[in-house]
Structure 1
Amino acid sequence: MRTVTLFVVHCSATPQGVSLGFEDCRRDHVRHRGFKDIGYHFYVTRDGEIHRGRPLEKIGAHSLHHNRHSIGICYEGGLDAASCPTDTRTLGKHSI
């Protein structure tokens, strides 16, 4: 097992009213970024559902220079309806 010293939380930079579900994100990472799988270990959709991405024992592809020793978590959202950064996390996501 690899040594994990860091949790890195990302947002999908998806505006309110626009959906980027787990499979959509996975497809983007594989087809457009050339990854073998989704880059994150966990993906949290707006409804609060937690999806498992890469297995924890696999190195993620989410944070340059930190992938080897981190777990990548992404939550859907992060932008308001005008595509400006905002905290769109639900109450459950604040506990991440």
Structure 2
Amino acid sequence: MSEDVRLVAWVRGHVQGVGFRWFTRAKALEIGGLSGFALNLDDGRVQVVAEGNQKGCQKLLDWLRGGDTPGRVDGVTEIWDTPRGGYDGFMIR
């Protein structure tokens, strides 16, 4: 079953100024079928919002938590929700 979901993740660590948003967008495009954005927050975190099938969103979350990201990820907090739509592809904000 490929139910569409919304993933909102907040990534903590040294994740700004290292190309993190660019690589997150590239990974989302590589996974395919995801829309949303990556955004630098004022407190140093990066917020990632992805909508698409649950398997694709889980793959993106696993990548965010893995050791293959730029910079240094100290932790990821996520919530799952129903999609809201309105995104044109996966953007950097």
The normalised TM-score by structure 2 is: 0.31
Q: Which has the higher strand share?
A: 2
